[in-house]
Structure 1
């Protein structure tokens, strides 16, 4: 039977679940909570919003709403609430232990030799080059002066490979990878949101503002088959999963929190950049704090920062990102239009160009490139750091091979992932690849929601466990996404 962290082995170590004991260390105090300090500590939420606005807001949200109507947007409301709670529960574990939550799941029975391969597999199937390839369609459209078609596939693939090489370059420079991602994401978010707001105010009829807003509260609506065509449940399943962030990318919030040094993350090390970073000693396991009155007060102050970041920057950012993106597409593209193929990232630009000409065409394509390439950047890092942390903690053999330098594991995996995605460029289409990994994200929410609930409700000390509301919401997360996973699998099997 798994033992909780309150059952100490000795004065300096704690047994937690089936993994190796954790050393006791000091929990640092967060800065006093005020607006100035809160703004200075933002970062993880910016990365998550940057991931969310790529596939859900720019691709799948407009595609689903144009095809079936804004009444579908209630799915975004439910998904964003549930994903925000899921993010906070992954962060709860990391604030106490310093371990990324996916590593923590290895402590659940029967142990890492079952859960390790499972989560490696789920991570691999959840990452793809669809965002880079979609961003390449935006670049190709800028070069061609029109939307790319199947005949332009080679040109788009070449630009997609360039986009992936640029991803590798960005995560290779700086002091630590997480800090570089936060800075790039912040710049991208400001540009994207400002541009979308300008276009929406400039071009979208006022009546659409209310229609789109009402859709977020039209709870329970689901489209019905009509005209001899069934409902595209694969599109809707992907839309639900990426309505906010999506599966393993939500779980990476705990990895980025560890690297940012929140809570006990400051005691275990981080993944430094290849160029500009220095070798960092990363702990082989997490570290926990004594359950003193002062440490408990500090823990809940850290959680206060996490909650404010998630419910302000992340929740509001995801909702506004979806609203502004869908508003632009639905207000300018004819209802019922099926968006897909090689033109998926350029459809909005085509619609804007009808009103603003060449200027609008290039501006919206530039937005699309930043949205989609930024998603590929952060999504690639999320998958690679999941695999890195899993291998680093699975056993000493991997640490010896890397000569105790976690950067070697990270960048070798990054190179392998990049080669794998270059192959996928050739065999897939942008929207097809995004739909594949987005539906895999729905499965991650089903499994991950139940396992995070199990982890935090049984292995954390009683003083730190989630309340019954959060436990219920994690169950609802699994049920909500279980429905869409079932419908998508049934649709796939039906051909």
Structure 2
């Protein structure tokens, strides 16, 4: 439910954090019950009100990596030597998500705004961060793949190579994302509800299909592959593995672009700083700078409660969902390879499983697999497209007093025109390459973020109130993120301009 906008500072004190941005105001952390408007947070209230931002991330997650890159890699090379990359990536990314969200809960600032506090300041890091997000996802491979699925649903056949109609369907789905945000009172809440439906339907549907058609041996092979350390299979490139690592779970070093939804949900100090409402929403305020809490016993106790909710949301929903979301499609793809005698290519992977099941089990299975595929890819499309718009809106609104005056305190006046502009640009770009190749490009660009943002998180989180600061081993795990995902990006660049550093 919506709350009245009220920072309610506990004193006139402010707290400096970093450089080039205004100091943070100081106010008490709210209780979760105050934020969600309930008497107590029991199991029902937990799922009905408190959990949810991780579902937006999970909706993106169960898409480009889980439906395209993972099944393609397994379909071509098998589970062993690939599965451990998936597991390590999911663990590291979930931990990284928690650290990004730690900053949001403690300050109420979206990460793109927080980056402006890292030396040398917002004039470098805010535009760089906006550019990296747009550059990574503007290719529109996720949209193009969804368009292929819709074409197959409408025509009952796989689209021919180079067909224009799938691209038009992709653009139509982008328009649908725009309409969902227009109809929302609170955009983040609308995305949560959409993903409860889509992600839930996808996971239940995949479990039923896999139980019906996939032999037990393949289930065991898939699970064993996650926990079997082995050299990557011969023939797979580090660029393919890097794409798989980058888009397993979410988007490796760029995951921060989704974590601002915790602010809009009202987690922690996000309750004090506002949110982006839809056109049907009443509240328009969004603070340009964050609010943090004093170091005292009462706020430390409240912080621990918020942090437990964050861990429940991320590890209980996001991590578990991401692992199921990778296991279920990949074992289905492995079975499709067995029964068809073929292997998926970059062009055929969005509809490969549906075609194989059609030939073996009949038309009904063809359509069921296509429906699940479209839901998977549309949930990805929904989160990525809205996320790009959100990052640019947050960055522009927070850093430009002149723009805030022009917007008259209503960030929606920027949000919706920019979304329409971005829709046109993506509609042009997605005509340029095969969907899976576009997705691999985006995934490896996500790995680039892992060379930068973990270090920036270390800087910011070390300066939070004492109760919110990470423990020493958290910094070690952030460093492992840099090494793991950074390796794949460096190899991708070497491969792009000449010869890869590593060949398997």
Q: Normalised by the shorter chain, which TM-score bucket?
A: over 0.9
Distance 1:247 1:406, change over 3 A: farther
Give the CA deviation at 1:132: 1.6
Q: Deviations over 1:339-373 (max 9, x none)?
A: 33443311010111122211111111111111001
Give the CA deviation at 1:185: 0.2
Measure the CA separation in 1 of the matches of 2:216 and 2:444: 34
227, 232, 247: which is aligned to 1:242? 247
| 2:7 paired residue number | none
Q: Map of 1:149-168 to 2, 5 A cutoff?
A: 149-151=160-162, 153-168=163-178
TM-score normalised by structure 2 residue count = 0.91
Tell me whether 1:139 sits opposite 2:143 in the alignment.
no
Tell me whether 1:186 sits opposite 2:188 in the alignment.
no
Tell me whether 1:306 sits opposite 2:310 in the alignment.
yes
Q: Deviations over 1:38-57 (max 9, x none)?
A: 22211111111111101111
3, 22, 25: which is aligned to 2:24? 22
Q: Is the 8 A contact 2:289 2:398 kept in 1?
A: yes
50, 55, 65: which is aligned to 2:64? 55
Structure 2 counterpart SS, 1:489? helix
Measure the CA separation in 2 of the matches of 1:336 and 1:284: 57
| 2:265 paired residue number | 260
Q: What is the count of residue pairs matched by the alignment?
A: 478
Give the CA deviation at 1:445: 2.2
Tell me whether 1:351 sits opposite 2:356 in the alignment.
yes
Measure the CA separation in 2 of the matches of 1:455 and 1:53: 30
Structure 1 counterpart SS, 2:449? helix
Measure the CA separation in 2 of the matches of 1:301 and 1:61: 36
| Greater alpha carbon shift after TM alignment, 318-327 vs 461-470 | 461-470
Q: Is the 8 A contact 2:253 2:447 kept in 1?
A: no
Distance 1:341 1:56, change over 3 A: closer
Structure 1 counterpart SS, 2:362? helix
132, 152, 167: which is aligned to 1:122? 132
Q: Map of 1:293-442 to 2, 5 A cutoff?
A: 293-334=297-338, 338-442=343-447
Measure the CA separation in 2 of the matches of 1:361 and 1:461: 54
Structure 1 counterpart SS, 2:25? strand
Give the CA deviation at 1:336: 9.4
| 2:457 paired residue number | 452
Measure the CA separation in 1 of the matches of 2:418 and 2:102: 27
Q: Is the 8 A contact 1:173 1:277 kept in 2?
A: no
Measure the CA separation in 1 of the matches of 2:386 and 2:165: 26
Q: Is the 8 A contact 2:284 2:409 kept in 1?
A: no
151, 156, 159: which is aligned to 1:148? 159
Tell me whether 1:66 sits opposite 2:71 in the alignment.
no
Give the CA deviation at 1:124: 0.8
Q: Is the 8 A contact 2:149 2:351 kept in 1?
A: yes
| 2:36 paired residue number | none
| 2:86 paired residue number | 76
Give the CA deviation at 1:28: 0.4
Measure the CA separation in 2 of the matches of 1:455 and 1:435: 30
Measure the CA separation in 1 of the matches of 2:79 and 2:61: 19
Measure the CA separation in 2 of the matches of 1:248 and 1:176: 27
| 1:13 paired residue number | 14
Structure 2 counterpart SS, 1:427? coil
Measure the CA separation in 2 of the matches of 1:76 and 1:33: 34
Measure the CA separation in 1 of the matches of 2:297 and 2:114: 25
Tell me whether 1:93 sits opposite 2:114 in the alignment.
no
Unaligned runs of at least 5 residues, structure 2: 1-10, 34-39, 500-504
Measure the CA separation in 1 of the matches of 2:254 and 2:53: 11
Give the CA deviation at 1:441: 0.8
Give the CA deviation at 1:234: 2.3
Measure the CA separation in 1 of the matches of 2:41 and 2:91: 24
Measure the CA separation in 1 of the matches of 2:277 and 2:362: 45
TM-score normalised by structure 1 residue count = 0.93
Measure the CA separation in 2 of the matches of 1:478 and 1:326: 27
Q: Is the 8 A contact 1:53 1:371 kept in 2?
A: yes
Structure 2 counterpart SS, 1:106? helix
43, 55, 66: which is aligned to 1:35? 43
Q: Is the 8 A contact 2:72 2:346 kept in 1?
A: no
| 2:284 paired residue number | 280
Q: Is the 8 A contact 2:210 2:328 kept in 1?
A: yes
Measure the CA separation in 2 of the matches of 1:336 and 1:126: 35
Give the CA deviation at 1:479: 0.5
Unaligned runs of at least 5 residues, structure 1: 1-9, 226-230
Structure 2 counterpart SS, 1:281? coil
Give the CA deviation at 1:302: 0.2
Q: Is the 8 A contact 1:66 1:336 kept in 2?
A: no
Structure 1 counterpart SS, 2:286? coil
Q: Is the 8 A contact 2:55 2:195 kept in 1?
A: yes
Structure 2 counterpart SS, 1:172? helix
Structure 2 counterpart SS, 1:333? helix
Measure the CA separation in 1 of the matches of 2:61 and 2:458: 23
Measure the CA separation in 2 of the matches of 1:171 and 1:222: 42
Tell me whether 1:177 sits opposite 2:182 in the alignment.
no
Give the CA deviation at 1:144: 2.9
Measure the CA separation in 2 of the matches of 1:398 and 1:234: 40
Give the CA deviation at 1:59: 0.4
Distance 1:13 1:294, change over 3 A: same
